[in-house]
A and B are shown apart, each in its own frame.
Chain A
Amino acid sequence: MTRQEIRQAIIDILADIAPDEDTANLKDDVSLRDQLGLDSMDFLDIVMELRKRYNVEVPSSDYPQLATMTSCLDYLSPKMA
């Protein structure tokens, strides 16, 4: 997947997890937690969806890598290439 496709994949997951939030206009370098009001259970859901949809494994020690859209893309690109 290209970086753009991965970005869209993440947005699709976020839209399911936070249906009331504006996921279309996310800023790539602001924390997802702050932009979407996500809590730790929401991040767990992101991890579960990544495994289910793309067979990508994110160990709990790597959860901090999911902080912003940019850090997500940097972290996931090699795994989802």
Chain B
Amino acid sequence: MPKDQLQGIKSEYDVIVIGSGLAGLTCANILGRMGRRVLVLEHHYQLGGMATWFKRKRGHIFDISLHGFPFGMVKSCKRYWSEDIANRIEPIRGIRFDNPQFSFETTYDRKDFTRILVERFQQPLERVEAFFDKARSFNFYDDDGTTTGQFLERCFPGRNDVHRLLMEPIAYANGSTLDDPALSFGIVFSNFMSKGVYIFKGGTDLMIGLMKKELIRNGVDIRIYSDVERVLVEEGRVTGVVCNGRSIRARSVVSNANLRGTIQRLVGEEHFAPEFLEQARRVRLSSSSCQVYMGLKPGESFDYLGDLFFTSTLDHFDSVALCAKEVTSRTFSCYYPDTRPGSDRYSIVSSTNANWDDWANLPPEEYEREKAKLIEDTICALERYLPDIRGKLDWIEAATPGTFSRYTKTVHGATFGTKFEGLSVSKAIPEQIAGLWHAGSVGIIMSGWLGTINYGVIVSNEVDSYLSRTNTVRATEEV
């Protein structure tokens, strides 16, 4: 008989969290710390969602997205996780760019970007200052319809090279394009510019491992290999979930699954009002990704290439081209031995944004052929900078939108959640079904490391309030 993954769980919980992405884990931790009875259910064999890593033989470990913490992560980890976790967040050394328009290295913060924009791109200081101040002043609740492209054009007219400098790393971080709202660009860009880019020293595995310890310390029950098939709803109110074929009662449920999957697969459209469904169906998913993971032979190394290296062969910047199957732009995340103190390994992960439709319906042989081409093209692109890299590689493999979909169960392998309109739909879910929340990557600003942690916090506050209120009602009824 297969092992019963749900062995030892309680008969009822205050909160069940579906999925263990960073938003789900953070929400679970805060509620556990407040003394709520919390259960986290994860279908995969490891926690973290897109905050993930994988191991291969001969000691290779690959991180999916470890580079690119904004400084705000230090505060959020300290407050909602632990001092120990926060203290392991360290600045990266440098970010490089190389494309037909420019080539240099930067610390990626306001001070250095101001210098670069003034000296290299010949922009007047007042214009640069005005741009930074405007970017920082955006609020998520006042969308005036301005797109990022329009905003950048207004600030730096006719300067496609400047637009590229400002937008390329953000597109890498959250899959957004020049057509997305200026406010989502402004918020995310300003988060990074406040103090540069950080990394978690010790790797994603250590980070998630420490978080798991913290959750257990706070009394949270965690089960892996536990696939939630259904959220149970009675008379417009959540009553529990069905997981691995078994019903588990809960006073509230937080879905850290993909927004569309939550509404259509887990809850079922019949439980929502028609106007809400109409709004939900209009939510666009963000793009997916392809990655190529390259591990060097033990003892081999490469010269410093920056921590994040944005490369492109396209002579101008164009959001559509970033996702195209004919790849012209790649971001190399370079992992040096100091990523995991004590290790002597070097590895490189190449990332490109990608469209689900380009990969989803290929016949098996063609899919394999395309994957092999992706790997070969990536090595060739890397050889421009590291001519002898091919001979040093020991392990190489690729992930496509289908790979991300399989491991995270996101609809269409959306690695960055939804476009901006997803945020209001996500936030409106509890108005549709009492006791149900969604906390996951939505609306561009609630995606990425900081966005998802903070969305988990916001939702935990609402869940806690709901649990306090419904407790009072219950106590009164009993009297």
Question: Contact between B468 and A44 (Cβ–Cβ < 8 Å)?
Answer: no
Q: Which residues on the A side are within 8 Å of B134 (C-beta)?
A: none
B465 at the interface (CB under 8 A from A): yes
Asked if A57 and B465 sit within 8 Å, CB to CB, the answer is yes
Q: A44 with B458: in contact, given A52-B34, A57-B469 (CB under 8 Å)?
A: yes
Chain B residues 432-448 with CB under 8 Å of chain A are none
Which residues of the partner chain B approach A52 to less than 8 Å between Cβ atoms? 34
B457 within 8 A of A: yes
User: Which residue of B is nearest A45, CB measured?
Assistant: B79
Q: What does the 1/0 interface line of A41-81 toward B look like (CB < 8 Å)?
A: 10011011001100101000000000000000000000000
Number of interface residues of B (CB under 8 A): 14
Q: Are B464 and A51 in contact (CB under 8 A)?
A: yes
| Given A51-B464, A51-B468, A55-B468, A41 contacting B457 (CB threshold 8 A) | yes
Using Cβ atoms and an 8 Å threshold, which residues of chain A touch B465? Answer: 51, 57
What is the minimal beta-carbon distance from B38 to any residue of chain A, in angstroms?
16
Q: Decide: A48 and B76 in contact? CB cutoff 8 A.
A: no
Q: Is the CB of B461 within 8 A of A47?
A: yes
From B34, B454, B458, B461, residue with most partner A Cβ within 10 Å: B461
Q: A55-B468, A57-B469 are in contact. Are A41 and B461 (CB under 8 A)?
A: no
**Smallest beta-carbon distance B218→chain A, Å:** 14
Q: Would you call the interface of chain B mostly helix, strand, loop, or mixed?
A: helix
A62 CB to closest chain B CB (Å) equals: 12
Interface residues of B in 41-80 (CB under 8 A from A): 75-76, 79
Q: Is the interface of A mostly helix, strand, loop or mixed?
A: helix
Residues from chain B with a CB closer than 8 A to the CB of A41 are 75-76, 454, 457
Contact B457 A57, beta carbon cutoff 8 Å:
no
Interface size counted on chain A using CB atoms at 8 A:
10
CA distance A72 to B79 in the complex (A): 23
Closest Cβ of chain B: how far from A64's Cβ, in Å? 12
- Give Cα distance in the complex from A55 to B460, angstroms: 16
Q: Which residues of B contact A55 (CB under 8 A)?
A: 468
Cβ contact within 8 Å between A48 and B468: no
Complex contacts, B454 vs chain A, CB 8 Å: 41
B236: min CB distance to chain A, Å:
21
Contact partners of B464 in chain A: CB under 8 A: 48, 51
Q: Is B468 touching A57 in the complex (CB atoms < 8 A)? A: yes
Chain B residues contacting A48 (CB-CB under 8 Å) are: 30, 460-461, 464
Query: Complex Cα distance A48/B468, Å?
Result: 12
Closest chain B CB from A18 CB (angstroms) = 10
A44: which of B34, B75, B461, B469 is its contact (CB, 8 Å)? B461
Chain B contacts for A57, CB-based, 8 A: 465, 468-469
Which of chain A's residues has its CB closest to B78's CB?
A19
| A44 neighbours in B (Cβ, 8 Å) | 457-458, 461
Q: Whose C-beta in chain B lies nearest to the C-beta of A57?
A: B465
Q: A residues bordering B, Cβ < 8 Å?
A: 17, 41, 44-45, 47-48, 51-52, 55, 57
- Chain B: residues with CB nearer than 8 A to chain A? 30, 34, 75-76, 79, 454, 457-458, 460-461, 464-465, 468-469
Q: List 22 interface pairs A-B (beta carbons < 8 Å), by A numbering.
A: A17-B79, A41-B75, A41-B76, A41-B454, A41-B457, A44-B457, A44-B458, A44-B461, A45-B79, A47-B461, A48-B30, A48-B460, A48-B461, A48-B464, A51-B464, A51-B465, A51-B468, A52-B34, A55-B468, A57-B465, A57-B468, A57-B469
